[in-house]
Amino acid sequence: MFRRNTILLGSAAVLIAIQMMAIAAQQSVKPGNPATDWPMFSHDLAGTRFSPLKQINANNVGKLKLAWSMPYRADRSSAAAGGLGGLTEATPIVVNGLMYLPAETRVLALDAATGKEIWKFEVPSSPGNALSRRGVTYWPGEPNIPARIFVTAGRRLIALNATTGESAQGFGNNGEVDMVVPYNSPPTIFKNLLFVGANVGEQPATGPPGNTRAYDARTGAKIWEFHSVPQPGEVGNDTWPADGWKDRTGVNNWGFYMTVDTERSLLYTVFGSPASDYYGFDRKGNDLFGNSVVALDANSGKLKWYFQTVHHDLWDMDLPPAPILMDITVKGKKIPALIQTGKLGLIFILNRVTGEPIFGVEERPVAQSDVPGEFTSAT
């Protein structure tokens, strides 16, 4: 009896030790520290692109020296091809001393201090499914799920183990999810939610929808999908002619990232012009949610408010950048604000809770088209 109990206790101890080792391995990558890292495309979910680091200042910036470099394009004649590849647009992210970025057909993890490669993941490429050149997304994981790196490749959403670079099992099908509609930018991460836009054609007028979508960072399941062209019964459907909303493409968040008011769980997604972008004969009306900044409940995708910057766009006046969130003081009162720019060259300053302009917005009459059959918004 004593020997049997000893064996059972020993086995239990081994099992506990194995479980503790597994948990330690899963937690080896800790959540990033925004005070020292650059954990996402715009540094933070408010889109500030501001680092609080003070090591480099006006007194020592002239003394900086090159620590390491990576070539922009690989020498394809070399057997050891490397480099970032052509037309790279990536903003690398840095978390706990590791730098993550896409490079040609690979996702890389580098020692941020030395540039030494820690791991690489080869992304098989096919027409229309090339690896995004714009960046990657870091998710710190959960107690039973290791930290992950997410990247898009056309309509594929790919998850990798942030420590090993291996496909993240348990996410979609062997670490991949088919988004059906492609997105060529890093997903925006909030809690366990991955927000993606859509890269769709601007001509012809019909094609895949430009909807903004949310996926579960743990499983890859789609959580919600917001109709950027409202369906019957939805707010804004009456801004399209009868059946003019059907199979309408464009109206897509094609930009590099989105922003989130984390206190209020509000996601801000911006949409470009409807397709066709220079032709409006078949879409008379204001065409919501084209050329609009839209606030959604981040958890459910439900519409909170919208603000359209161009009615019935005929000039491709998209809103490429996501808004910046900040608080401003007006007449002694602090107001949660949203700052939106775009191709118009104007700055819209809105209350980010209500969507109301803080300083007012003037609707100006515009020249009317004399092209037979064309429609131009009055303002």
Give bridge partners of residue 111 from the DSSP assignment.
98
Distance of CA 50 to the CA centre of its chain: 18
261 is an active site residue: no
As a whole number of angstroms, the distance between CA 176 and CA 195 comes to 15
Please give the residue that has the higher pLDDT: either 21 or 176.
176
Q: So what's the pLDDT on residue 88?
A: 81
Q: So what's the pLDDT on residue 126?
A: 77
Torsion of CA 326, 332, 333, 335, to 10 degrees: -20
- Domains annotated for the chain, with CATH where assigned, are 27-47+82-319 (2.140.10.10)
Running DSSP on this structure, what letter comes out for residue 17?
A: H
Q: Per-residue pLDDT tens for 33-45? A: 878 899 999 999 9
Query: How far is the CA of 368 from the CAs of 159, 315, 344, in angstroms?
Result: 49, 13, 18
Is pLDDT of 19 > 90?
Answer: no
Q: So what's the pLDDT on residue 26?
A: 44
List the catalytic residue out of 316, 318, 327, 370: 316
Q: Per-residue pLDDT tens for 141-155? A: 999 999 999 999 999
As a whole number of angstroms, the distance between CA 346 and CA 364 comes to 13
Lowest mean pLDDT among 123-127, 147-151, 154-158, 298-302: 123-127
Main-chain dihedrals φ then ψ at residue 108, nearest 5 degrees: -120, 145
* Cβ atoms of 322 and 257 closer than 8 Å: yes
Q: So what's the pLDDT on residue 127?
A: 77
Rounded to two decimals, the pTM is 0.89
As a whole number of angstroms, the distance between CA 89 and CA 93 comes to 13
